[in-house]
Structure 1
Amino acid sequence: MIRLFALIPFLGILYSQIIYVGDDKIREGVHAFYNYDFDKSLKILNKARVEYPDHPGVHFIWAAAKWTKSMAYDPVDTAHAVLEKSLAEILPIYEKLTKKFFLDSNYKLYYGSAIGLSARVPLAKKSWLSTFFRSYKGFKKINQSARDDPNMLDAKLPLGLVEYYVFMTDSFLKHAIKLYGLNPSKVQGINKISIAADSSSWAWIEACGILSFIYLWIDDDPILAANYSRKLVNNFPKNFYFNILLLEANIKNNRFQEAKIQIKDLKEAMINLTSRQKSWYKPYLDYEIALLSFKEKKYDQALDYVNRAIDNYSGELDVVLGFCYLLKGNILDLSQDRFGAKTCYNSCIDLNNFSGAISRAKGFIDKPYFIP
């Protein structure tokens, strides 16, 4: 279950409700990196760090932008090294800023966010204990900032996600989180994330992404997933991942014509991706094409595309891979290949990532998939 810490949106805690000198320029940098204009983003943010060194968010956003660019161009290990180096540079800065501006809870929010972002490296390496302790250390500072300023809407995002996560995990975490005044609740967690998505200044970006993820791949509510992912695509049309989220929502909502237009557009957009992005996102797109083909009962085509997705999968996290195995198992069940189907379901279960695919695969081990 710790793998769900991948969702902890420390990247999304970008601005508080208070207006700081330099906000407009930093906003420009944020929008640039969400639209994959990484060089423009870093040029803006590098300059902003010099001009507005006391801005509560600029150093954290700069580190996130450097990491995001590295993920788009470099192997995973290199991206991790870039992140760790950037965080090593900014964490001492935030330690000083929180002392200098001790009455401003926003500095604690960003300090906690930076600590929490450091959990991203052990997460990818499946070092669960280290992931938990780094995330929890960051959470404590974020929770303190929220206590100091209960109206801080951007803090709703990480707090809500922790509540959602802990509700579904072991009793030790539930006990620990209660010490900080939070009662683990799936409903309350979702409510907090939804507040951030609907009302926060900047956390809405990652909050919408998190809710799209949850409603597509954990809680299975594609109508809500479509609402949040469409908002993202409308604001960041060049973001391939956001488009993938909306594409899957459209497929699951039987909006096949819109999905086909999206697939055509995404195939064209892929030309402009970096080689690393192509290797990451091409299997995602192949899976979506397979899912659409399956919905249209084009089972041979669906099997072809889902095999491509599985064979070439190189995403850092394996949630989509689990759904690839689940879909392939369903296809093989329909073709009466029960042994092959169960092999796929077991491959899905072995990922142990607690996505919705896992529970469904467990059900199909005992009872084959069929169309009523």
Structure 2
Amino acid sequence: MRHVLITFLLLFSTLYSKDFYEGDPLVKKAVYAFYNYEFDRAVIILTDAREKYPDHPGVHLIWVAARWVRSLANDPVEDANTMLESDLALIQPVYEALVERFEYDQTYQLYRGSALGLSARVTLGKKQWLRTLYRAFKGFTIIGDVAEKSPEIKDAHLPIGIVEYYAGISNVFLKWAVELYGLDASREAGLNEMSKAANEGDWAWIEAKGILSFLYLWVEEEPIMAYKHSRDLVAHFPKNYYFNLLLLESMIRTDKIDESYTIIEDIENLSSDLTDRQKEWYFPYFNYEKALLTFHQKQYSNALELLNSAINSYTAELDIILGNAYLLQGMTYDKMNKRIEAKSSYKLCLDCNNFSSAMEKAKQYLKLPYQGK
């Protein structure tokens, strides 16, 4: 499961560049529409931008990404990935020509590398491991060269940070491979690089803040840092359901209880605009967040009811929230003095076998009951 998450984040994180090229205002308009879940509007704008500004370095790849994510929100995953593969094949010769024409501008190489990386997401879905590794490595190699030759392109720090961080929590072989490439295979170095993109990036700051919020909540256990980044994201993209969920958990875990209820109302108002597939993904997340809040309010029966609903309706590919839901379920049972049920929940949490901090907590609470406040 961890491979799916990190690969997706790596491949989707370098889609943007400076507000410098002809057509940037139109592309920026589409990007903001995209992050506010206005997918149809974003695709229409980007289709128009591709025709008007074919030399723009990012418009072709951003168009592909927008069409793919729109399809994921409406269609079966297999259909979305088939379209992604077709669209990437369409833009590959476009980037080959652009790189040749603008050989001194490393931004075009950045997008070319990103397109190659995103193509690995297709082979990953087909479990074609060697092709996935080849495409991902080829794309990252190009991005790494861009970072070395053009350090002023701050957005390139994000994929480098993701690779360093992932290597830092992975096996010795992967650490060795990453260090052989000249990178620092550690969590600290990865967070530092991603923070540079979040604080200084021209476009990658959006994805960087989203990734950092995720990691600070569910891996690093630093909700104050998650609150800082998720608050910025919601301020810029108030209609983004996922960013609001990140902000909600960071508020709950930093004891901003009154503000949490306000965010819950905001999220409920956004729910009607989701597609059916998005509701399948996000409603279990939302129930988990509400369970976390009621747990903090010592309303254990209500928390358990919400957790059962979240777990039973969980369909998302990523199981980080599912693992945390099982963990919280076990903690709730412990507070209700139901030790047998609690241990069963902790074991189910461990079955997720992901890289979240919930795994270590579940091991701890299997040995000794949760007794926190």
TM-score (normalizing by structure 1): 0.95
Q: Distance in 2 between matches of 1:367 and 1:35?
A: 44
Q: Distance in 2 between matches of 1:124 and 1:364?
A: 35
Alignment deviations for residues 227-255 of structure 1 (CA, whole Å, 9 cap, x no partner): 00000000000000000000000000111
How far residue 77 of structure 1 moved from its aligned partner, in angstroms, is 2.2
Alignment deviations for residues 112-169 of structure 1 (CA, whole Å, 9 cap, x no partner): 1112223334556676665544332221111011112122100011111111111121
Amino acid corresponding to residue 15 of structure 2 in structure 1: L
Match of 1:118 in 2: 119
Instruction: Indicate yes or no: 2:337 matched with 1:336.
Output: yes
Match of 1:144 in 2: 145
Match of 2:22 in 1: 21
Contact 1:42 1:65 survives alignment (8 Å): yes
Alignment deviations for residues 6-27 of structure 1 (CA, whole Å, 9 cap, x no partner): 4634333233336111111100
Contact 1:322 1:357 survives alignment (8 Å): yes
Structure 1 window deviating more from structure 2 (246-255 vs 356-365): it is: 356-365
- Secondary structure at the aligned position of 1:156 is classed as helix
**Mapping for residues 62-211 of structure 1, pairs under 5 Å:** 62-121=63-122, 123=124, 131-211=132-212
RMSD: 1.8
How far residue 268 of structure 1 moved from its aligned partner, in angstroms, is 2.0
Match of 1:236 in 2: 237
Contact 1:338 1:368 survives alignment (8 Å): yes
Q: Distance in 1 between matches of 2:64 and 2:190?
A: 27
Q: Distance in 1 between matches of 2:253 and 2:128?
A: 34
Match of 2:319 in 1: 318
Q: Distance in 2 between matches of 1:317 and 1:331?
A: 23
Contact 2:19 2:202 survives alignment (8 Å): no
Amino acid corresponding to residue 19 of structure 1 in structure 2: F
Q: Distance in 2 between matches of 1:36 and 1:348?
A: 31
Q: Distance in 1 between matches of 2:136 and 2:192?
A: 21
Contact 2:15 2:58 survives alignment (8 Å): yes
Q: Distance in 1 between matches of 2:8 and 2:225?
A: 18
Match of 2:364 in 1: 363
Q: Distance in 1 between matches of 2:265 and 2:14?
A: 33
Q: Distance in 1 between matches of 2:88 and 2:330?
A: 42
How far residue 359 of structure 1 moved from its aligned partner, in angstroms, is 1.6
Contact 2:333 2:339 survives alignment (8 Å): yes
Q: Structure 1 unaligned runs (5+)?
A: none
- Secondary structure at the aligned position of 1:371 is classed as coil
Q: Distance in 2 between matches of 1:206 and 1:228?
A: 10
Relative distance call for 1:149 and 1:328 in structure 2 (3 A) is same
Q: Distance in 2 between matches of 1:126 and 1:4?
A: 14
Amino acid corresponding to residue 293 of structure 2 in structure 1: L
Alignment deviations for residues 306-338 of structure 1 (CA, whole Å, 9 cap, x no partner): 110001111121111110111111111222322
Instruction: Indicate yes or no: 2:287 matched with 1:309.
Output: no
Q: Distance in 2 between matches of 1:112 and 1:315?
A: 28
Q: Distance in 2 between matches of 1:333 and 1:32?
A: 44
Q: Distance in 2 between matches of 1:229 and 1:361?
A: 26
Q: Distance in 2 between matches of 1:296 and 1:124?
A: 41
Amino acid corresponding to residue 31 of structure 1 in structure 2: Y
Q: Structure 2 unaligned runs (5+)?
A: none
Relative distance call for 1:17 and 1:264 in structure 2 (3 A) is closer
Amino acid corresponding to residue 230 of structure 1 in structure 2: R
TM-score (normalizing by structure 2): 0.94
- Secondary structure at the aligned position of 2:163 is classed as helix
Relative distance call for 1:116 and 1:24 in structure 2 (3 A) is same
Fraction of identical pairs, as percent: 49
Q: Distance in 2 between matches of 1:186 and 1:31?
A: 30
Q: Distance in 2 between matches of 1:275 and 1:45?
A: 24
Match of 1:61 in 2: 62
Relative distance call for 1:258 and 1:129 in structure 2 (3 A) is farther
Amino acid corresponding to residue 68 of structure 2 in structure 1: W
Relative distance call for 1:289 and 1:6 in structure 2 (3 A) is farther
Structure 1 window deviating more from structure 2 (40-49 vs 117-126): it is: 117-126
How far residue 281 of structure 1 moved from its aligned partner, in angstroms, is 0.8
Alignment deviations for residues 169-191 of structure 1 (CA, whole Å, 9 cap, x no partner): 12222222223221212222111
